[in-house]
Every structure is written in C-alpha cells, then in structure tokens.
Amino acid sequence: MANDQQPHLIGFQNEACADFTLPENRAAMEAALAHARSQFGREWKLLIGGNCVETGATFASTNPARPDEVLGLHHKATPLLAARAVEAADAALRNWSRTPPIIRIAAAARTAEILRARRMEFNAWLVFEAGKSWPEAEAESGEAIDFCDYYARDMARLAGPHPVLQLPGEKGEMRYQALGVGVIIPPWNFPLAILAGMTVAALVTGNTVVVKPSSDTPTVAALFMEVLLEAGFPAASFNFITGSGALIGDALVGHPRTRFVSFTGSRDVGLHINELAAKAQPEQIWIKRVVAEMGGKDAIIVDSDCDLDAAVEGVALSAFGYSGQKCSACSRAIIHADVYDAFLEKLQPRVERMTVGNPEAPGFYMGPVISAAAKRTILGYIETGKQEGRLLTGGGALDAEGHFIQPTVFADIEGSARIFQEEIFGPVLGVTKARDFDHALELANDSQYGLTGAIFSNNPDHLARAREEFFVGNMYINRKCTGAMVGCHPFGGFNMSGTDSKAGGPDYLMLYLQAKSIAERV
C-alpha cells in the first residue's frame, strides 16, 4: 500500500544498502572490523531492573569462522535471576505503560537514528559473531533500522482514541493499551534485526520486556541494549539476561507475571513455549499470548513457461544466501518436467561459482554455519541426501578451521525423502521433478510448514492459481523467496511456521496491545 494511503507512514522508506565496491564504504567497513576486533574478549553483564548483575559464571561467544577466537564473555543467568528480571519488568510496567505515546514513539525513532549512525559497527559484529558476509550484514542492519522506524510511525496510528459506531445517547471510543511484561527470545541468524523488531515493537506499545538472546550471538544483543539506553528507553523498561535457554527459558515463559512471549526459532522450541505458556500458573490472571515464528521448508516452483535463467538465479540466491541459514531459504526446488534437465544444467555451474570462506574478507559469498553442532547436523543431512538423491554439486565440509560447508545440491529427490520434508537450516538444496503444474503445487504444499514460497512462471492461469492455492504466508512471483522488506512484505507463515505474525506490517503492533471499548452516556 502506498504511503499516501497510510498517513502515519509518510516519509518512511526502506534503508538503502551500502555499495562496498565504493572505496569509502569499503574503508568504513574495514575500520569497523578493526574496531570490533579491538573489543574482543570484553565482559558483558546482565541488566536487571536497571542494574548490572554478575553471576560469577560466564560463557564465551566465539567466531564461527575461527572457533578459537573469543568475541565476548557473558554471564550465565539462573532461574532465580530470570524470575527477578520478570519481576523487575513488572515493577516498571505501570510507569512505562502510562508514559505518553509520543515519548515512546520518539524513543523508537531515536533507536533507528542511532542504529543508522552505528551501522558499520553492527555490520562488523554480525560478520564476526553470526558469520555473515558484508552484504548480508549490511542488509540486516538496514532491516533493523526499518523495523524501528516503521513501528515508531505505526504507533502514531494506534495512539489515542479510535472511533466506533455511535449509539444514540452515548459517546463511544476504542483505545489500545499495553499487554504487560513480555519475554523476547530472538534467534541467532538475525540477532540484530529480529531482536530490534520484537523488542521495539513491545516497548513502543507500552510494554516492558525481558530480552533473552541466543547464546550463539549474545554480543550483538548486548550492544543493542546500549542503543536502547541511548535512545531514551528507561533502564527499568527492559531487562537483559544471557545463558542457557534450557536452564532459564521455562522460568521466563512460565512466570505468572509474564503476559506474552515473542519468539523466533525452531519448531520444537516454539511448540514447547506455546505448551508451557498455555498452562496457567498459580496467581496468573490472564491467558498468555505467544507470538511465534518457527521456521520453514520453503519451495520454489519453476514452471515450464518461465525465464529459466531468472529461475536459476532466484533459486540459487534463495538457497545459499547466508549459507541457507534463513527460515525463508529455498530448500526445495520443484521443477516442471519439461524444463527439469535444462534447469539442472544451468543450476550446477551457477552454484559452483559461489565462493565460501571467512566473511571478514569481502570477496566470499558464503561464510560459515553458526556452530560445530549445526555443522554436524547439516553434514548428517548431506549423508542422508546421498542416499535419497543424486549429488549434483558440493557434498561436504571445507578443509578449513571454521564451520564451513560447501553449497550442496541434490537432484531427483522424492516427496517422501527426509531432505524434502525436514528443515535442515544449512546450504543444502533438494531438486524435485514435477509431472505438471498440478503436481508442482501438490509437492509445494506437501509440508508441515508454510512460511515462504515462490513461483517462476509466465502463465497467467498458473499464477492466479498459485495466489490462491500455494499455502504460505509470504509468496513471491518471478523473484527469490528471501529478502522480505519491512512495510512491503509483512512477514510470517502458516502451520508449523508459527502464528503468522506479519512482522513489519500494519497488523504487527496489535499483537502487543489489547483493546478497551469505552462508552459514556451523554
């Protein structure tokens, strides 16, 4: 929808990405990397009720491209400290929820401004801690800015009274108010953008929060807490705790004063959170709300009538951007039988041109996967793929010190195969032949997930059917299935992909609010 149809979004535009072929941008990024490297080994404390807390036990954040390189030391929270954090957020709720919306909006907008000024710094930490290439890091920082800017503007739409149908003799209105204390659990693969989006959405709507980042990427989250403070969010309005999710996650979710949980991560963890949140605890007086995005097994359909070169490019970029570690990544390419062989003939050399290496250097398309555990899991699926299909290219790890895996493509994968059905979350693509378009749609929908999908076709009837029948939350036509832009592609999926939260869209802030109807007799 155009900005002239959304007055509250006038002036909003997505952040442009820096061109690193320009000498000034490359120099700025190199300086940011050098500065971040000078900060390696810093100790980061918990933040509870506005106070820094040490626990006496720490864990290390490491560089997935150089696993022996310690980036930061973070304190391990306990279940008792998790409970303290929820209670501190609850104590701060009354003041923050009653803070005029204009002040909360200003803090969210200021967060976007600070992130914009510190963009290269965050890029550098995303390279080191999340293993992102320069362009992937730059895109994520831009998305974080967009989330903060968009939600600041959208809160202006929701603040204040809203008109309702007026009953004769009454004056009626609708107002939206904060839910309460929220637990924010962001993922490691977008440790800045998703963290910023979930946290700022909760805060700008008047809630207070406890942030629990992934133990793979806690330093990026700790730096973002500094941004929130600088932007004007009161220290008491957000709390920051790190440590084992298995140890403290249940304490956060199950606490009777937790009102909602905003989670992005795996299906199994999301289901556990939803189950735990649904069980009322002693002294709990509400039904907890869960906002969850839980992954995908995303498909791209390549029809017989399409631009085959564009389809090959879209599939390759969707499958192997950030080493396939995106919930939106294409892991299933479903190809019409008429173009199947031609597609594979073009896909193999395109994938083999993709370079893999330490993303601290700007020339590599793919960096490492996030951890040794992830690497073992992905390599296990690759061995399974060798039994279920024909290895077209890739098929193993790189002989390097980091967690590097070759971009891997399997052809002739059946719909019953594990690598067709199960989320791998790595640089592994399965290619499946469809008899016709009906079969292609059937295969695409044969999944417990329903996050993103794309179709390459020039057949108007097939495109019309895909709009209706391709069962995903985000569908793309004649383009890749990754790269959702805030405001343009509200993001969230169906089925086991979560609660279809539509982050970055006009429905999202409503997930953090509750409506009060007020009628006055006159």
- State the catalytic residues: 293, 327
Tokens 């009906």 -> residue: 438
Element holding 460 (H helix, E strand): helix 460-469
Specify whether the CB–CB gap between 499 and 291 falls below 8 A. yes
Q: 498, 435, 442: which is closest to 470 by C-alpha?
A: 442
Specify whether the CB–CB gap between 211 and 225 falls below 8 A. yes
Q: 431, 404, 466: which is closest to 330 by C-alpha?
A: 431
Q: Report d(CA 66, CA 64) in Å as an integer.
A: 5
What is the 8-class DSSP label of residue 489? S
Q: For residue 278, what are its two tokens?
A: 């649904």
Q: Partners of 264 in the beta sheet?
A: 293
Q: Report d(CA 130, CA 253) in Å as an integer.
A: 26
Q: Report d(CA 390, CA 413) in Å as an integer.
A: 8
- Residues 6+ positions from 91 with CB-CB distance below 8 Å: 49, 236
SS3 label, residue 435 = coil
Alpha helix positions (H), 98-178: 101-117, 119-130, 134-158
Strands 238-240 and 208-211: parallel
Specify whether the CB–CB gap between 432 and 454 falls below 8 A. no
The strand order across the sheet containing 58-63 reads 42-44, 66-75, 58-63
Q: 242, 250, 289: which is closest to 269 by C-alpha?
A: 250
Rounded to the nearest 10 degrees, the angle between the axes of helix 340-352 and helix 308-320 is 50
Q: For residue 308, what are its two tokens?
A: 């085959």
